[in-house]
Amino acid sequence: MKEAEWAMTQEPETVTAHSSPRSAGGKHDFFSEGDYWWPNPASADSPYIQKDGITNPDNFVAHRLAMIRLSRIVGALASAYKISGDNKYVLQSMKHCKAWFVNKETLMNPNLLYAQAIKGRFTGRGIGIIDTIQLMEVVQGLLAMEASTEMDRNALAGIKNWFGEYITWLMTHKYGKDEMNAENNHGTCWVMQVASFAKFTGNKQVMDFCSSRYKTVLLPNQMDKDGSFSRELKRTKPYGYSIFNLDAMTTICQILSTPQDNLYTSTTADGKSVKKGIEYLHPYVANKSKWPLKPDVMYWSEWPVAQPFLVFGANAYNNSQWLQTWKKLEHDPKVDEVIRNLPVRNPLIWF
């Protein structure tokens, strides 16, 4: 409830509050820059060069931080509403959501044309779509509060319309298609957020598409037989990326599972399942010193935190050990990079 008390004091701040001279977009366009791209020391005016796993601290991050802030606010308020039933949390949430998705003066355009740009190379990339995983707890929070007598139905319809337009863009634009077909955590996160937005808007056709993609593409192609993710293990931050991808896969199961189609029990012909993924990674989350590879090049000390795969998995498989591990970990991380890669921070609203 402490986070909700903070959220009650906050005023809306959308993409229109910040701008960057490096953005090719307009006032209402979300803009971010590729994390691992740096100025070329040979020439300040030449295109940026890549340093995998090493974040450029001079990147423009204001829009990303504003979106994370929105996610924190709505997630905390929705959790407080579920606990207390107090409609003041609904009213405060809607003030922020209307600013982001309804009010013409302050709304964000429903696309990511200018996300994770690279100076001198790209004005935007499909890889930037991962930035909007932060909107999942916004829509999940709205679902948790939807039945409130104080819910503004017209505004809620407008918000759902915004997300409907965004889903269309994600599924039809080249950037969206590129991200959908990514063979690592980016492809997983595309399915995760599209599933989340489709559930919010009641788009069963898209939900079914995401469910099928999880079973026929993500699980068989990304997971190895031992439950690990080989593409993530090849990165310079294999520990953090492995956790992140498993969080995303487990969240997909949480979003889309029904009694008729339980993704938690979905298993490939060669035995791959999200349960196997949790069984593989849990020992290294419970005791990081057992991790068999080199430490990540950045943020090694900050991981793990209270990862959603632990609490979702504990509930799905009735595993008390995973739940105990989750309880012992940090539930209120302060490092921006950790928060950015932890889009599920309020599990109460997901059940």
pLDDT score for 331: 96
CA end-to-end span of the chain = 18
Q: Residue 180 above 90 pLDDT?
A: yes
Instruction: Determine the Cα–Cα distance for residues 154 and 76; give it in Å rounded to an integer.
Output: 23
pLDDT score for 90: 98
The pLDDT of 51-79, averaged and rounded, is: 94
The pLDDT of 265-289, averaged and rounded, is: 98
The pLDDT of 49-57, averaged and rounded, is: 87
Q: Residue 187 above 80 pLDDT?
A: yes
The pLDDT of 279-300, averaged and rounded, is: 97
Helices (H), the chain: 2-8, 62-84, 88-101, 136-145, 153-172, 174-180, 185-201, 204-213, 219-222, 230-233, 238-256, 274-286, 308-317, 320-328, 336-340
Residue 213: both structure tokens together: 């993609």
Instruction: Determine the Cα–Cα distance for residues 195 and 349; give it in Å rounded to an integer.
Output: 16
Q: Residue 44 above 80 pLDDT?
A: no
Residue 281: both structure tokens together: 């990674």
74 backbone φψ class: left, alpha, beta (φ>0; ψ -120 to 50): alpha
**Segment 4-43, tens digit of pLDDT:** 999 999 999 999 999 999 999 999 999 999 888 988 888 8
Longest dimension (CA), the chain: 61
pLDDT score for 43: 83
Instruction: Determine the Cα–Cα distance for residues 114 and 23; give it in Å rounded to an integer.
Output: 7
Question: Average pLDDT of the chain?
Answer: 96
Q: Can you name the residues that pair with 37 across neighbouring β-strands?
A: 50
Could you state, in order of their start, the residue ranges of all structural domains in the chain? 1-181, 183-351
Provide long-range contacts, Cβ within 8 A and 24+ apart, for 37-42: 37/118, 37/119, 37/121, 39/119
Q: Residue 54 above 80 pLDDT?
A: yes
Instruction: Determine the Cα–Cα distance for residues 15 and 324; give it in Å rounded to an integer.
Output: 39
The pLDDT of 290-305, averaged and rounded, is: 96
pLDDT score for 35: 84
Q: Do domains 1-181 and 183-351 have the same CATH topology?
A: yes
pLDDT score for 52: 83
pLDDT score for 42: 84
CATH of domain 183-351: 1.50.10.100
Residue 229: both structure tokens together: 């993710």
DSSP assignment string, 101-133? HT-TTTPPPS--TEEEEBTTTBS--GGGGGGGG
**Segment 120-132, tens digit of pLDDT:** 899 999 999 999 9
The pLDDT of 308-328, averaged and rounded, is: 98
Q: Cis before residue 304, ω within 30 degrees of 0?
A: yes
pTM for the full predicted model: 0.95
DSSP state for residue 226 in the 8-state scheme: T
The pLDDT of 99-118, averaged and rounded, is: 97
pLDDT score for 258: 96
CATH superfamily of 1-181: Chondroitin AC/alginate lyase (1.50.10.100)
The pLDDT of 309-334, averaged and rounded, is: 97
Instruction: Determine the Cα–Cα distance for residues 165 and 24; give it in Å rounded to an integer.
Output: 21
Instruction: Determine the Cα–Cα distance for residues 118 and 66; give it in Å rounded to an integer.
Output: 20
CB 273 within 8 A of CB 266: yes
Q: Computed from CA positions of residues 77, 81, 82, 83, in that sequence, does the dihedral angle turn out positive or negative? A: positive
The pLDDT of 325-332, averaged and rounded, is: 97
Q: What is the share, in percent, of the chain residues with pLDDT greater than 90? A: 92
**Segment 333-344, tens digit of pLDDT:** 999 999 999 999
